[in-house]
């Protein structure tokens, strides 16, 4: 782990606090925020669009438009459709502006990053642009939204080819398609996360232009969408631009919330094994608390404690805690090629059982919290930092009771006690669902837990 850069420390000490100035409803906690001067404002337009403005010293502004149009909204038999629509939305974003005109406008505005991303729960369009030129992106996003129901995807051959390449490239990338395989196995049929974001090759081939048009018409709506703008922005000017470009959009029915069926956590669940080719790393996953669940902080610190403990010994194991609104998973991966899946699972279960019986010491817990906090600040200081902040603000706007609470997010973790970590460790060791992804031909028999 690299030391926290001086740049990150200086950057976040320069940020400004909105709540203290009374710019966002709600009382600020008495404790100091981790991001000491982050100015956050959240409001909703008559159309149902949630707007989050976050003022930082960064000369580049991140603009993110997030629709509740992720893979969980794929129709039956059309897995990967949200992802295909995202590709279409990047290039064929409007009936009024062709892709070449759009690209010229973005180039003239000094855009550094322009992209789309699809997750389980959201599809997002993001751009990094000099802060004074934010209005250009707002105009383009409003045009995409206003005309989304009339988008003509054109021939899908090129999009299908791109997605097929992504399928091939992601099959054995660390953190790539294997995570989708784990999620599909961990969350059973009927759970919104059972289907993979990218879909299968057969599903991608089956997608039609009519499917894509219907997806846009159904899910690309202002109601329920979240617009986030982060950077050294003139908030009054941005508010005026939002009002000008996004006015008179119709208010639609709020998308019905997805319901995740309860996972089987109190019965013996056999280890299931998948073997996508050409898999070389062994990975295992345990079901864990969801994003902004009350147990998320304890699970996150458990992941840090496990990471430190599993970094020693005959084989180093990496730990990652992945969470989304409807569920999470604790992923442990071997850094050695073709590792024995039995040894990996037994070692992790042994550590979980030990932690359940003997909670981490206060010193160990403090080190885990410092590491988690440091890594998050490093993420904010990296090239993807503005987008990491935008995603965190989006999550708090939708799930956490308001984006203005984000600067005090660290307090949730500092309140965690050793007993909380021990409880989560016990849940994972005894009741959590567990799956293993192993190389083809590996010895995969792992005893069911009593």
**What pLDDT is recorded for position 6?**
32
Residue pair 215/149 in contact by the 8 Å Cβ criterion: no
**What percent of the chain shows pLDDT beyond 90?**
51
Task: Give, in degrees to the nearest 5, the angle at Cα 83 between 213 and 318.
Answer: 170
Q: Which of 224-228, 259-263, 375-379, 443-447 has the highest mean pLDDT?
A: 224-228
**What percent of the chain shows pLDDT beyond 70?**
84
Q: What is the mean pLDDT of residues 312-340?
A: 85
**What pLDDT is recorded for position 185?**
83
Helix axes 134-147, 235-245, angle to 10 degrees: 20
- 123-130 β-sheet, strand order: 39-44, 50-55, 226-231, 60-67, 123-130, 113-118
* Euclidean distance between CA atoms 424 and 352, whole angstroms: 9
Q: What is the mean pLDDT of residues 111-139?
A: 93
pLDDT of 9 higher than 60:
no
Domains by residue range for the chain, with CATH: 8-25+33-245 (3.30.830.10), 272-437 (3.30.830.10)
> Closest Cα partner for 63 from 125, 116, 121?
125
pLDDT digits (tens, 9 = 90+) for 157-186: 888 888 888 887 764 454 456 778 888 888
pLDDT digits (tens, 9 = 90+) for 345-404: 889 999 999 999 999 999 999 999 999 999 998 888 888 889 999 999 999 999 999 999
């Amino acid at each position: 782990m690299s030391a926290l850069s001086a740049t990150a420390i200086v950057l976040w000490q320069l940020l400004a606090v909105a709540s203290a100035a009374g710019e966002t409803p709600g009382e600020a906690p008495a404790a100091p925020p981790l991001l000491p001067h982050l100015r956050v404002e959240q409001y909703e337009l008559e159309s149902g669009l949630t707007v989050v403005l976050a003022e930082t010293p960064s000369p580049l502004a991140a603009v993110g438009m997030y629709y509740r149009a992720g893979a969980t909204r794929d129709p039956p038999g059309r897995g990967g459709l949200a992802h295909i629509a995202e590709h279409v939305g990047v290039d064929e974003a409007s009936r009024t502006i062709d892709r070449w005109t759009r690209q010229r406008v973005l180039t003239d505005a000094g855009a550094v990053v322009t992209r789309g991303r699809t997750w389980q729960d959201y599809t997002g369009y993001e751009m990094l642009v000099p802060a004074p030129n934010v209005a250009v992106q707002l105009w383009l996003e409003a045009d995409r939204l206003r005309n989304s129901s009339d988008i003509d995807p054109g021939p899908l051959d090129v999009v299908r080819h791109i997605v097929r390449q992504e399928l091939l490239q992601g099959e054995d990338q660390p953190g790539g398609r294997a995570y989708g395989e784990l999620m599909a196995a961990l969350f059973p049929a009927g759970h919104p996360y059972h289907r993979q974001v990218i879909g299968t090759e057969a599903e991608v081939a089956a997608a039609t232009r009519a499917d894509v048009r219907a997806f846009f018409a159904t899910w690309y709506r202002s109601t329920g969408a979240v617009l986030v703008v982060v950077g050294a922005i003139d908030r009054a000017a941005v508010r005026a631009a939002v009002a000008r470009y996004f006015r008179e959009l119709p208010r639609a029915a709020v998308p019905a919330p997805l319901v995740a069926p309860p996972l089987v956590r109190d019965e013996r669940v056999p280890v299931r094994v998948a073997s996508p080719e050409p898999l070389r790393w062994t990975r295992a996953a345990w079901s864990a608390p969801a994003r902004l669940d009350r147990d998320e902080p304890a699970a996150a610190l458990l992941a840090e404690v496990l990471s430190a403990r599993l970094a020693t010994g005959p084989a180093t194991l990496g730990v990652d805690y992945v969470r989304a609104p409807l569920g999470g998973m604790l992923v442990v991966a071997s850094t050695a090629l073709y590792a024995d899946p039995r040894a990996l699972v037994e070692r992790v279960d042994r550590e979980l059982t030990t932690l359940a019986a003997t909670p981490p010491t206060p010193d160990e817990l403090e080190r885990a919290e410092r590491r988690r906090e440091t890594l998050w600040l490093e993420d904010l200081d990296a090239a993807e930092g503005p987008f990491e902040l935008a995603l965190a603000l989006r999550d708090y706007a939708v799930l956490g009771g308001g984006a203005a609470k984000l600067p005090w997010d660290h307090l949730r973790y500092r309140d965690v006690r050793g007993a909380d970590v021990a409880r989560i460790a016990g849940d994972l060791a005894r009741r959590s669902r567990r799956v293993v992804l192993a190389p083809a031909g590996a010895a995969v028999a792992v005893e069911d837990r009593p």
